[in-house]
Amino acid sequence: MRTGRKLTALAAVGLLAMAGCGDGGADAGGSGPGGMKPPAVDKLASLGTGEGQVNIVAWAGYVEDGSNDPKVDWVTDFEKQTGCQVNVKLAGTSDEMVTLMKTGEYDVVSASGDASLRLIYGGDVAPVNTDLISNYKDVFDGLKLKQWNSVDGVAYGIPHGRGANLLMYRTDVVKPAPTSWGAVFDPNSPYKGKITAYDSPIYIADAALYLMKTQPDLGIKNPYALDDKQFNAAVDLLKKQNDLIGEYWSDYTKEVQAFKAGNSVLGTTWQVIANLATADKAPVDAILPEEGATGWSDTWMISAKSKHPNCAYRWMDHIISPKANAAVAEWFGEAPSNKLACAETADKNHCKTYHADDEAYFEKVWYWNTPVQQCLDGRTDVKCKDYAAWTQAWTTIKG
């Protein structure tokens, strides 16, 4: 599951220096925020014979071969059909994934939005020739060619799945039912000491999103693009919230138990956590608040130094095929990226539960992205706070 997806401190510090490396050729995809150009890296022109293996860096739960649960296996058939043996290295953080991909020893990675830009501008991943991915045509349009998986209309990855960071509450305690993120920021909250928040610098974006909707004078247009004034406002809000927090969480199992025991009654969550808590008979509900929410969308990316590119492409095509994409979405707890996967899930309500085909729902979701000095909202007259600054601020927020 998504255990350990706590971001750590080695984030985008070197991104700006790396952005200047190389010239942006046709396959480099033009320019990104503030005119940044990725290094020129060629994409695979045509699919050849498989090399016999593929080395993968992935989140736990994304590459299952039946060893954890005999019923959960979308690797064995792939190996039989392609002759490509799957070797997987599980990573606990986005920073670990970036570090591993820089070694050149791995072919593909399941990168989150807080890692993908670092990989692109570091020259560690190559553009993807989507013409060679037969299942790409069936990926929801809402996931294609986005800021975290493309540059200037050039795809740098294959969308895997997505989800929103929701507001969960104990229905027997929190009354009336909350409709806004204001419930977790209210300095006079009667639930002081029992409010929880995600333990990561990226949570600053949640505060920024709330301010974007409630304090428009700040001029926030993108919760990952914050100038000094906007950033300080978000940090100040979170410092005040710290007095309300009983505990910060990064391990989903601990949040399930906290809500079940009543130690937490209100705070951020994922849909899978709400499902597990409900299955454990905890009286909870989870909503997408009126302001919208942050969220995540993972992308399969291929190494610029891949030694097994043909097997890598076959893997990326397989993992978003309807049956495999349905299986991983159910096991992991997320919305699949392939619209045809919804007909293949064992739970026929899975895609409804996770809003897989509800683009109006996901239009309210700001997916995790890597904050960089070149503002992601397109402003060029100011510098935005990069992820290193976010990391430093998170330490002060938690005291």
Q: What pLDDT is stored for residue 83 in this prediction?
A: 98
**Cα–Cα dist 2/366, whole Å:** 19
pLDDT of 367 over the 60 cut: yes
More confident residue, 147 or 49: 49
pTM score: 0.82
pLDDT at 271: 86
> Mean pLDDT, the chain, as a whole number?
90
User: Which of these ranges, 2-6, 7-11, 225-229, 326-330, has the smallest mean pLDDT?
Assistant: 7-11
Confidence of residue 93 (pLDDT cuts 50, 70, 90): confident
Look at residue 344 and tell me whether its pLDDT is greater than 70.
yes
Give the separation between CA 33 and CA 37, rounded to whole angstroms. 9
Tell me how far apart the 2 most distant CA atoms of the chain are, in Å.
Answer: 64
Percentage above 90 pLDDT, the chain: 78
Q: So what's the pLDDT on residue 32?
A: 63
Beta strand 150-151 pairing with 154-155: antiparallel
Evaluate if residue 370 carries a pLDDT over 90.
no
Residue 4 has pLDDT above 80, yes or no: no
Q: Give 329's contacts (C-beta < 8 A, 6+ positions apart).
A: 161, 335, 336, 341, 345, 350, 354, 356
- Residue-wise pLDDT tens digits, 49-91: 999 999 999 988 899 999 988 999 999 999 999 999 999 999 8
> Which residue is listed with tokens 């699949």?
336
Pair 196, 265: CB distance under 8 Å: no
60 contacts 4 by C-beta, under 8 angstroms:
yes
309 pLDDT above the threshold of 90: yes
pLDDT for 49 equals 98
How distant is the alpha carbon of residue 110 from its chain centre? 10
pLDDT score for 59: 87
- Residue 33 pLDDT: 64
Phi/psi for 96 (5° steps) reads -65, -40
Which range is least confidently modeled, 11-25, 153-167, 240-254, 276-290? 11-25
Is a pLDDT exceeding 70 seen at residue 211? yes
Overall average pLDDT of the 302-330 stretch: 98
DSSP state of 43: P
Q: To the nearest 10°, the Cα dihedral for 154, 129, 325, 305?
A: -100
What span, in angstroms and rounded, lies between the C-alpha atoms of 245 and 240?
A: 10
Q: What's the pLDDT tens digit per position in 6-53?
A: 333 233 333 333 332 222 232 333 456 666 789 999 999 999 999 999
- What the chain holds in terms of domains, given with CATH numbers, is 53-162+297-354 (3.40.190.10), 172-282+372-398 (3.40.190.10)
